[in-house]
Amino acid sequence: MQKKSIYSLGSLALLLVLFVAVNVLSGNLLRGLRFDLTDNGLYTLSTGTRNILSNLQEPVTLYLFFSEDASRDLPQVRSYARRVDELLDEFVNHSNGNLELRRVNPAPFSEQEDQAAAFGLQAVPVGASGATLYLGIAGSNSIDDIQAMPFLQPSKEKFLEYDLAKMVSSLGNPERKTIGLLSSLDMKPGFNAGMQTAQDAWVVYDQLGQLFEIQDLAAGEALPDDLDVLLLVHPKDLDDAALYGIEQFVLRGGHLIAFLDPFAESDRGDPNDPMAQMQAGSASSLGGLLEAWGVRYDPTRVIGDLQYGAGTTRSRHIGILSVPAGGMNPEHIITADLELVNFSSSGWFAPAEAAETAFETLVQSSENAAPMDSSRLRFLTNPTDLMNGFNPTGEQYALAARITGPAQASSPASEEGGARYVAESGEAGINVLLFADTDLLTDWMWVQKQQFFGEDLLTDFADNGSLVVNAVDNMLGNRDLISIRTRASSGRPFERVDEIRVAAEKSYRATEERLQMELEETERKLTELQAAKGESEITVISPEQQAEIQRFVDRKFEIRRELRQVQHDLQRDINQLGTRLKLVNIGLIPAIVMLAALVYGHRRRKKQNQSQIREAKAA
């Protein structure tokens, strides 16, 4: 018995040693080996991110600032911080040693807190004690370039990988591409003469400035030779010389992105001329260039859309289009991952007959759309007036398109062109992106600004900014950043619950509209009955009116009961779904485990019995 006890204790000690050894060895030998079993691949870096990390030209150091003590009572923040930390580890693992991560806990009144402030990170007060919370990332490279993400918002988690990859890419590849911007709209920061206040730059201008070198161009000057992309925004009233320079740039292989507009709402004219402001909303075009490139465009008409029109059924604005993913080209890298892009008073493009160029639609209207004169928008006070006489054509109209292929010059050589004149494009052809709206660039169409302790926090409610940056990235050949622009969030929505809510809301809305129609019809009948009476009887309520009023009151209470029943059915369906999920989680899974255990035990006993029978026979 004593021997057996010694053997048992020795076996336990040996198992303990083996357990520790296996953990130590696995921690070293299997470092970096992970299995991502999440539905959205949250912990697996995209191919674009891995390409960026493997091609860094400069070593990059990232600093993750997170206040451990101040976040102890904030489980959601701590969970998101852990998600950020794990993603940064993945970045380091795929960087071939070019990326270093330093974790910093900025305690109050410490050198680490001073360092966070020097990087421009945002401290957020939490609780009544006056404690401050840091959750931000700063980065630097060997030439002392610094970039920072002042405060990481959990609501923007799906952009986390892209934002990190963009920061690492810009720090690890300091040489930035150059964009030539020729715009008749005031996109830059400056002074608003009309309002006599400072004017912020458009958010899309700031975003482009963070990624690329923007060179502002004037309409009368020659285009520089070192432009990587030419960006035209509302090019109105361009003279022949300017159009000639643009065409030659494109034919020589230059990349062009043009935002045209039949009615640019952001063009308010001269702020010092009241009459000019009355005529705000000018049109822009590229003259004969579009025709030479095989594109049709009407600068006097805009697209209305019943399906994509913004607003509700009763107050829909068919001139403002909220184009969902179904209206964007899923095969093109510029639009493949976008969910919603807003347009306002947009025109459209179409391929010309016998065009030699290829016309590829990127964004388009629904089939419930039709053109209408842009003049109807100039003094529009009630958006529902646009519905008068509006008849959808059943066609879809291209709001944005890519033009590629062979093209010829639309004008002969000028004196300035000389020997550099190009009559036709080379073998690669032209590469032009066309957008039929400029208002999509304005802040009010896609982003909301909020003051957060003296800092502007931006919340995207549409993907207009991503569309523009995608377009520039694509023209520059940077496919890696585009491929990771949007990633899934770790939060998993209750899709089935959302479907139930949407179905119930439709039923509720239909019932509510039926009540409103009955109300209007009853009021019309009461008016007719009142008009049929004489003036002396104007205050007398007839039996017919009394019966009509009573019928409406009874019906109103009945429909209210229906509305309550709809809400009750909604909650009932959700509760039933929750009950089913609980039964699966609480009862079904343990039952399956128990069943598997019983089957395993039965087979084991069966094998033991068979073994005993064989031993008995052998004896």
In degrees, rounded to 5, the angle at the alpha carbon of residue 198 between the alpha carbons of residues 467 and 462 is: 20
CA distance 572 to 282: 54
Q: Checking DSSP bridges between strand 447-452 and strand 455-460, what pairing results, if any?
A: antiparallel
Backbone angles phi, psi at 108, to 5 degrees: -60, 140
Burial class of residue 336 in the structure, from the number of CB atoms within 10 Å of its CB (0-12 exposed, 13-18 middle, 19+ buried): middle
Backbone angles phi, psi at 414, to 5 degrees: -100, 170
CA distance 90 to 46: 11
> What is the pLDDT averaged over residues 206-229?
88
Q: What SS3 class is residue 353?
A: coil
The pLDDT-based confidence of 81 (bands split at 50, 70, 90) is very high
Instruction: Count Cβ atoms below 10 Å from residue 281 Cβ, excluding itself.
Output: 21
pLDDT at 60: 94
Over the chain, what is the mean pLDDT? 81
pLDDT at 451: 66
- Residue 369 pairs in a beta bridge with 305
b/e map of 145-176 (b: 16 or more CB within 10 Å)? eebbbbbbebebbebbbbebbbbbbbbbbeee
Which tokens belong to 7? 């053997």
Highest mean pLDDT among 127-136, 202-211, 330-339, 470-479: 202-211
Residue type at 448? Q
Closest Cα partner for 168 from 98, 64, 93?
Answer: 98
CA distance 444 to 311: 15
pLDDT at 279: 58
Q: pLDDT tens-digit profile of 143-153? A: 888 889 999 88
Please indicate whether residue 99 or residue 504 has the higher confidence score (pLDDT): 99
Give kind and range of the element (H or E) at residue 249: helix 240-251
pLDDT at 614: 78
Which tokens belong to 452? 């957060």
pLDDT at 211: 83
Which tokens belong to 293? 């490139």
pLDDT at 40: 55
125 pLDDT above the threshold of 80: yes
- Residue 461 pairs in a beta bridge with none
Q: Which of these ranges, 111-120, 316-325, 450-459, has the smallest mean pLDDT? A: 450-459
Q: What SS3 class is residue 233?
A: strand
290 pLDDT above the threshold of 80: yes
CA distance 371 to 391: 9
Closest Cα partner for 228 from 56, 478, 5?
Answer: 478
Q: How far is CA 443 from CA 20, 107, 383, 435, 447, in A?
A: 58, 37, 21, 17, 5
61 pLDDT above the threshold of 80: yes
Q: How far is CA 152 from CA 61, 78, 117, 133, 348, in A?
A: 18, 12, 15, 11, 39
pLDDT at 381: 84
CA distance 145 to 181: 25
Q: How far is CA 618 from CA 605, 611, 612, 614, in A?
A: 20, 10, 10, 6
Which tokens belong to 473? 């990235």
Q: Which of these ranges, 129-133, 323-327, 410-414, 578-582, has the smallest mean pLDDT? A: 578-582
pLDDT at 351: 96
> What is the pLDDT averaged over residues 124-140?
86
Q: pLDDT tens-digit profile of 252-276? A: 989 999 999 999 998 876 655 555 5
